[in-house]
Structure formats: structure tokens, C-alpha cells
A and B are shown apart, each in its own frame.
Chain A
Amino acid sequence: MIDTEIKGKTTKLSALVKGIKSDSLNIRDCVDMHQFCAFWGAFDILNYFNDVVILVHGPSGCLGNRRYLPAMGYHNECDNKPHLSTSFTNKEVVFGGEKKLIDSLMEVDKQYKSKIIAVITNCCADIIGDDVEGCIEGLPEDLRKKVIYLNTGGYSGKSYRRGTEMAFKLLTKSLPSKKYEESANSESKMVNVFLRRWIGGQTKQEEITEIKRMLQIIGVEVNQLFDQGMSIEDFYKMQKAQLNVAACLFFGMGLFDELKNKFNVAYSESTYPLGLFATKKWLNEIITSLNLNVNIDELQEVKELERKRKELISQIGKGRHCIIWTQTGERMIALTKLAYELEMDPIVVGVEPAIVKDKFPIFEKEVLEDGFDVKVFVTKYIEDVQDLIEYLGDPIIFCNNNYYPGRTVFKYKLAQNPIYGFNGTRKLYQAMHDSINNKSSKYSLFVEG
């Protein structure tokens, strides 16, 4: 590909975002398997709670699909909790499933004795218009009090994220509206922490440990961690905190908005503490919000990381080109910021305009409000990216799938490795150092071609 072709395919992210905002672009759909429908989002959030039993009103197929996700790389995890449904057949579709819902609620209550029974619907029940609210209203008092419901049929076009927001709203609505009365020491500063989506195992534990450690350094305690296996009581206790913070703000924002509206708990708008600068920004925002007297630049750990950063820049070569090919969204933005932190000249490839549109609040905030921008090479084809690599000379390639033997490839899988905080930064820097010193070998099983 020649110079003019490369330049012809290069634009800025801000131009893309503005084009999407003004609806002046013709965007093709794409299959993004991380963006399911509202049903999945709502189920995932309600499923966090050990004392909530979820009953899906509709066919059982949707539930079967989500239990075990080897296709998403989760072949070492399986959701063993009950996946209950009213198991619609064509009989329910034609004649309605309301009686079945009522009978099922009685049965679930008898068998599971949970604090809350959450009824969510999928497409069938919503389209045929089963009166879920009416069914619940007609239940005996004791049972009625513990049932909450949501219409979450995927046909509504609402995304996974929207489903999570609906579930957060429903949960918060079901909490008593008076402030949690346990007396709290007004001197102690407490935050609630919201982790990133779909993280588990050792990686999750490391990230939790790191977040708690960093917060402790600045004199802040963790009130509640929004995590799998929490109880409704834990959720209720979230109102005790002075601030909500998130590793991934856009996933937790739905909950944070509700907690702010109902209990006036503020939240930090800083997100994705990946890399030294982003971690410092994340902590500084907490420090400012809680009026803490801490200067994190004076911390020995930060000074050490700053020294390492400068060393790494020297190894990489200031202004070195880098190509970033990752999932469109916060990860892409976070990795680009990391590239800027290491004084590289990044260009992003494989950006899906349909996903930018779907995740527009993220891009609107980052790009249009906060001024983040980066060059975009408009392609998703490996051959074009290889031409770009040739054109740029010796860029570092940030990617998950390695098609580039003999090149410097930074392949630190964000989903399976700790990335946040100072600990995450150390690991990222080390991984970058290793990548510079070990070009990818054509004999590696993990290098394609």
C-alpha cells in the first residue's frame, strides 16, 4: 500500500465520533459478541446476589445459552446457580403464560426461600403482552413483597448495558429509602468499589487486593465491593459510603446514578486506572472528592514507577510508532493512553463504528468532553495492517492475535492479567520491556503465518 493510500485511510477518532453524533455516517452492523441484549445484562446483574433467585418468564433457551461460555473463552467457569424459567412452549405463546408464571412463583418461593425473587422476561412474554405486574399483584402478601420484575425482552433493541442499568434501577428502587442508620465514624472515609465486567479467578483477586491497597495508602477504606456473591444487605450498606468508585465507570454508572439519586452518594468520574498516569488520575479524583490531604507524587512507589517509565521510554525510543488493535471501547482508549504515557505515537486499527455508536456515552465523554483523540487507520483487514506496519518501519504492535512474526508485539491479555493500579502498571511495564527484547518468532505456535 503506498503512502497516499495509507494517508487516505487515516483519520482521527474525534472525526468518527462527531460523525456518529451528527448521524452523518452510514454504519454497517457488526456482530460484537460482548454486546448481547438487555435480557443478558439484567440477568448478569441480578445474578450477582446470592439471596436473589431469578425466574425468567419465557422459553428456557435464552438461559441455557448463558450458563457456560466456552465460546467466550470461559471454559474454566460455569454459573451453577439455578437458571429457572417458565419454559414457554407454543401453548403459552398462543394462550398466554400468566397462570404458569403464578404457579412457578409459588414453586420457586417454596423451594428456594430466597429474600428476593426477580422475574425478568424475554422476547416471547413481552411480545404477547403477559401482564407480569398484574400476576405479581395478585400474589399472597408475603410472596408479593419479595418479588421484583423487569421487562427485558431483547427485541426491545436495548443493549446489554441498558439491561444492566434497568436492573440497577430496579434493585435500588426496592431498597428502603431512609438512609442507613448505623452510626459511622465521620472521620473515616469510605468508598464502594465496582470492578470491571467479566473478570474472575486469580486476576480478580489480584485486582481487588491492589485496589484495596492503593485506597489504604491514601487513607480510604472499602465499604462494599460490588462483586459476585454479595447479598441484598451488602447492597443496602452501599449507602454508607461517601463515594462510589469504579475500575470500569461505564459498566457501573447505572448503579452510581441510582445511588446518587436515592442516597446522595457521589461518584468518581475517573475510570480504568491502567498505567501510571491513569492510576494517579483515578486516585487524585478520589483524593479531591473526599478532601484528603495526600500527595501521591510523593509516594516512593510512584517515584519508582516514574523512574521505570522513563527507562522504558528510553528503551522503546521516544516518539516510536505503535499500532493498537483491540476491542473497540474502553480498552482501546486505555491502551492508547498507555501508549501516550510511554511517549509513543499510536494509531488505532480495527475500530468498529457500530460499536462506537453502541458505546457512545464512553466516546462522548472521553473524546468530545475530555479531549482524548488518536489517529485511526480505517481497516479491519490483516493485509492492510501489515502494509501499515511496513510503512511505519518498526512499530510496536499492541494486539491479542499475533499475525506479525519478526515484529515487536505487545500481547498482554487484559482479560486474563491484572492491569489496574500500581501493581498492574508494574506488570504492564515489565511485559512491554519483555516484548521489546523478544521479537515474535515465526516458530511460535501463537504466531499466525
Chain B
Amino acid sequence: MRNTTLCIDSIEKCGILGVSQVIAQIENSSIVVHGPKGCVYPAYEASILYPLNINYTEMCEKTIVFGGEVEVSEKIIDEFYENQPDLMAVVTTCASEIIGDDIDGLIKRADLPIPVLRIDGGGFLNNQTSGMNMAMRTLVEKLCKEADLSNPTVNILSPVSMNSCWQEDMTYLVSLLAEFGIMARPLFCNASVEQIGKYAHTCLNVVICPPIGFETAEYMKKAFKIPYITLSYPLGMEKTEAFIKGIAETVQLNKDITHLLDEKRAMVKSKFHNGMGRVNSVRLFEYIKQLNKMIVGPPEIALAFTNIITKEYEDSIGRVIVKDVSNEQEEEIKAKFAKISPGTDVLVTNDNQIIKEEIQNNKPQVLLGSDLEYYFAKELYEPAYINITYPGARELNFHKRPFLGYDGTLNFFEVWYNKIINRYY
């Protein structure tokens, strides 16, 4: 539940963005935004990174008073013939939600030979994350007709658009699990309509970045009796091992994977030492440790990066700002951080002005977060900035590499190390 007592500078964009980001993961998909012109922008933003056709009804005073059902009908047909999508989502906005246009009825009447779904994007109902969850759940609800729990494939609920390498992360996790004899698929990651239709052909759902995907997992449990587990975000060797073991135990994998896990860990360390030995010494690590560091991000992400930096890089994080729209889990969140890094100060907030103040007052020399946090810092000084969450538009990444898993441990380390020494040494 959101904090409704204060006026805030909210950390989240509106639901239309979250919905659009998920729909954009479906091949040849379209969005029709049923709302005023200004509401198209978040759909446009989603379409910049991933292909997505956009149309909109441009609601005006007349449609508010008399209803916009004619416009919606026209746009649905228009969009179908214009772009011939495999799937269309009609996204409602604040205006269309309040007046209550019968979108479901219109979709039924249009009777198109493709799935056309209604998804609520209105800002008073959904923010970016809940919009994402709403879209995921609706897709599963409408497209998955039957389940097959005997299918050994494990679903991983993707944290769509969490950062700039999330798709590479998902692809990597699937191939990593295959090495352990576990078949897996990432949900809502470059999927076709046909593929989504088979999402319920699975023995297990795995949520790695709640609340993203949580609602869908809950739905699939209720509707199809598909069990789900929640595992820590698999960043770093420890959490990657926990991720693999967690799944292996749940699916009752009939093989001992201990040896392979040990091998993987040894391989990462061998690469690390060989790589460092040829080029660098460990001297600079001691200087890096002295720098004041801050992480800003949603709970799971902030926790995962704190863990890898403190446990696996043997460094420290002075301050973590956890971005959480609900303030209800503050104590629980702080307790989790205290367990892994007791010396780290943790602030939980849903307000960008508080985040800005913290950054500008503390002036962390190393800042992990999104571009917004970087610009808050840049107003006063230049940190060593590492992008870990959306938006991350400042830098180009033609060859994105995963941050998750074993490979990701070293990929992230490289970025971490190079950003810091390029800034300070």
C-alpha cells in the first residue's frame, strides 16, 4: 500500500510505462493507449528500447463527457490493419478508468483474430512496478489455457527492464541452469504469443526480484496449481549457488551438483586471479576500500549489490537508500541489510527529494543507482557512477554482458573496478 499522507516526489513513473515495458517484450505487439495525448509518452519511452507499435485515442473533453467507446473501437481496428500485430493491449489511463468505458465489451465486439487485452495503466491505480505486474498477470490469465505440471521446464519471472542488461541476465541464467541439467525459460523476455500460451507448461515458477512477477506466480498457483518459490536475486557467487540449489532441491533433481558448483566457484576465482595477476596488483583495492560508497535501488537489487560488494569484493557500503513505494516493510528491509552488512546505514524512502538530499549531503564517491541519482549527484560533484537500475541511458552498450550468475560476478567486478579507478586514480 502506498503512503498517501504526504505530498511526495514519487520514485515511480505511472503504470502505463510498466505495462508498455512488458508488452514490448512480446514479438510484434501493439499498444493502444486509451487516454489523452500526454499519456502516450510512457508508451513511447518503452518503445525506444524495444520494438512496440503505439496508437492512442487522444481523449478530449467530449469523450470524457460522452464516452470514448467509438474512438476505442476505431483505434483497435485501425491498429490491427495498420501494423498487423500478433497481440494488442488496450491500456487504460486515469481519464478512461474514471469514466468507465467498457473496454472489455469493445474488444469482444471487435472480434479480431488476435488476442486483444485490456490492461489498467492509470496512475491512480498503478505505478510502474504494479503496472508491470498487472500486464504479466493479464497476459498469463488470457493466453494460458491449460497447464502441464509434468513439463520439467522451470519458469523464471524476469525483472523486465530492471536494468540495461536484464535480457542478457535471463538468457545467461537459462544456459547456466542447463549446465546443471535443469531446463528453464525466462518469462516475458522476447517472447511470442505462442510461447506465452505455454507458460503454464511448467513444474515450477521462480521469482527472483519481488514484487516483479510475484502476482503472476500467485495467480498461476491458484489457477493452475503451479508451485512457486522466491529466491534471492542471483548476483554474485553465493546467491547464484543458492539460486541453483534452491531450484534443484525444489524440482528434486536426481543428481549431486555439489561438485559442479565447486568447479564453477573455482573457475571464477581462477579467472579473477589470472586476470588480476597479468595486469594489476591488489594494491588499488585498498584505496578503493577507503572511498565512501552508496547504493540506491529497490529492495532486492540494493540488497544483492550490498551482498556482493561486502562479501565477495570484501569492501564496504556506507549507505544504502532503498526505494520502496510502500513504507510498511521498512523494519523487515533494514533487518535483512543488518544481517549481511551491519555497518551499513539504511534508509527506506519513496521520495526522490529525500534521495537527492541524502546524495547531496553525503556526497558518496562511488554511487550505484540509476541515471536520476547520478544527476542528483552531478548537480554538486562528480562521483564514480555505476548504473544498476532503470533508467540507464547515459552510456552505450552494444555488447551487453550479464551481471548475474558466475560470469556476472566478474563482469560486474570489471565495471566496478574500472569506473572507480578511471574516476579517482
* Chain A residues engaging chain B, CB cutoff 8 angstroms: 29, 31, 33, 35-40, 55, 58-68, 70-71, 75-78, 80, 82-93, 100, 103-104, 107-108, 122-124, 127-128, 153-157, 159
Q: Which residue of A lies closest to B63 (CB)?
A: A155
Distance between Cα atoms of A29 and B133 in the complex (Å): 30
28 sampled A-B residue pairs with Cβ under 8 A: A31-B56, A58-B94, A60-B10, A61-B13, A61-B15, A61-B128, A64-B13, A65-B13, A71-B48, A82-B353, A83-B9, A83-B352, A84-B9, A84-B353, A85-B10, A86-B7, A87-B2, A87-B4, A88-B123, A89-B4, A90-B125, A123-B93, A124-B98, A124-B124, A155-B61, A155-B95, A156-B36, A157-B36
A358: shortest Cβ distance to chain B, in Å? 10
B38 and A70: CB pair below 8 A?
no
A7 to B141, CA, bound (A): 52
CA A38 – CA B376 in complex, angstroms? 27
Interface assignment of B127: CB less than 8 Å from any CB of chain A:
yes
Could you say which of B39-47, B111-119, B228-236, B264-272 contacts chain A? B39-47
Q: Which of A59, A60, A127, A154 contacts B37 (CB 8 A)?
A: A154
Contact A68 B375 (CB under 8 A): yes
Is the pair B45, A93 in contact by a Cβ cutoff of 8 Å? Answer: no
Interchain CB contact under 8 A, B94 and A122: yes
Is the CB–CB distance between A80 and B379 below 8 Å? yes
Instruction: Decide: A67 and B38 in contact? CB cutoff 8 A.
Output: no
Give the chain B neighbours of A128 by CB distance below 8 A: 98
Candidates B12, B45, B54, B393; contact of A60 at CB < 8 Å: B12
Chain A, residue nearest B7 (CB): A104
Query: Are A64 and B12 interface neighbours, CB within 8 A?
Result: yes
Q: In chain B between 301 and 342, which residues have their CB closer than 8 angstroms to a CB of chain A?
A: none
B95 adjacent to A127 (CB under 8 Å): yes
Cα-based distance from A104 to B9 in the complex (angstroms):
12
Q: A-B contact count, CB below 8 Å? A: 179
The answer to whether B51 has its CB under 8 Å from any CB of chain A is no
Residues on B with beta carbons closer than 8 Å to the beta carbon of A91: 4
Q: Complex Cα distance A288/B128, Å? A: 54
CB distance from B5 to the nearest CB of A (A): 8
C-alpha spacing A124/B98, complex, angstroms? 8
CB pair B98 A31 closer than 8 Å: no
For A104, the closest partner residue in chain B by CB is B7
CA–CA, A1 and B322, complex, Å: 59
Contact A80:B13 (CB < 8 A) given known A70-B48, A89-B124, A93-B124: no
Whether A85 and B41, one on each chain, are in contact in the complex, defined by CB atoms closer than 8 angstroms, is: no
Contact B42 A65 (CB under 8 A): yes
Q: Does B58 contact A (CB under 8 A)?
A: yes
- Give the chain A neighbours of B169 by CB distance below 8 A: none
Judge whether B393 and A36 touch: CB under 8 Å.
no
- Chain A residues with Cβ below 8 Å from B45 are 65, 70-71
Which residue of B is nearest A55, CB measured? B7
Residues of B within 8 A of A84 (CB): 7-9, 353
17 additional contacts, CB 8 Å, given A59-B123, A87-B10? A36-B37, A37-B37, A60-B10, A62-B38, A65-B41, A70-B48, A71-B41, A71-B45, A83-B10, A85-B8, A90-B124, A91-B4, A100-B7, A124-B95, A155-B60, A155-B63, A157-B60
Check B191 for interface membership: any CB of A closer than 8 A: no
> Do A123 and B2 touch across chains, with their CB atoms under 8 A apart?
no
User: Interface extent on B, as a size class?
Assistant: 35 or more
CB distance from B16 to the nearest CB of A (A): 7
Chain A residues with CB below 8 A from B128, complex form: 61, 64
Interchain nearest-CB distance for B309 vs A (Å): 25
Q: Report how far A71 CA is from B371 CA in the complex, Å.
A: 13
Residue of B nearest to A35 (CB): B37
- The one of A87, A88, A154 in contact with B36, judged by C-beta atoms closer than 8 angstroms, is A154
Q: Which of A36, A59, A92 contacts B41 (CB 8 A)?
A: A36
Known: A37-B37, A39-B38, A157-B61. A108 touches B379 (CB 8 A): no
On whether the beta carbons of B64 and A61 are closer than 8 Å, the reply is: no
Q: Which of B1-33 contact A (CB under 8 A)?
A: 2, 4-17
Closest to B356 in A: A80
- Which chain A residues border B122 with CB–CB below 8 Å? 59
The 10 closest A-B pairs by CB, nearest first: A61-B14, A157-B60, A61-B123, A37-B38, A59-B123, A70-B393, A154-B36, A104-B7, A60-B10, A78-B375
Query: Shortest distance in angstroms between A94's beta carbon and chain B's nearest beta carbon?
Result: 10
B372 at the interface (CB under 8 A from A): yes
Pick the contact of A62: B4, B11, B14, B56 (CB < 8 A): B14
Binary flags per residue of B153-192, CB closer than 8 Å to A gives 1, else 0: 0000000000000000000000000000000000000000
**What are the interface flags for B54-82 relative to A under an 8 Å C-beta threshold, 1 for contact and 0 otherwise?**
11101111111000000000000000000
Q: Does B246 contact A (CB under 8 A)?
A: no
Nearest A residue (CB) for B36: A154
Asked whether B227 is an interface residue with its Cβ less than 8 Å from the other chain, the reply is: no
Give the CA-CA distance A64 to B10 in the complex, in Å. Answer: 7
Closest B residue by C-beta to A159 = B37
B283 CB–A CB distance under 8 Å: no
Residue pair B372, A78 in contact (C-beta under 8 Å): yes
The distance in angstroms between the C-alpha atoms of A67 and B17, with both chains bound, is 14
Report B-chain residues with C-beta under 8 Å of the C-beta of A80: 356, 375-376, 379
- Chain A residue nearest to B59 (CB atoms) is A155
Cα–Cα, bound, A84→B6 (Å): 10
Select from chain B the residue with minimum beta-carbon distance to A157.
Answer: B60
Pick from A60, A76, A123: contact of B8, CB below 8 A: A60
Contact (Cβ within 8 A) B58 A29? yes
Partner of A154, one of B9, B39, B48, B124: B39
Q: Cβ of B54: which chain A residues have Cβ within 8 Å of it?
A: 31
Find the A residue at minimum CB distance from B17: A65
Q: Complex formed: what's the CA distance from A108 to B55 in Å?
A: 38
Question: Closest CB-CB distance, A40 to chain B, in whole Å?
Answer: 6
Nearest CB in chain A to that of B370: its residue: A68
B391 within 8 Å of A by Cβ?
A: yes
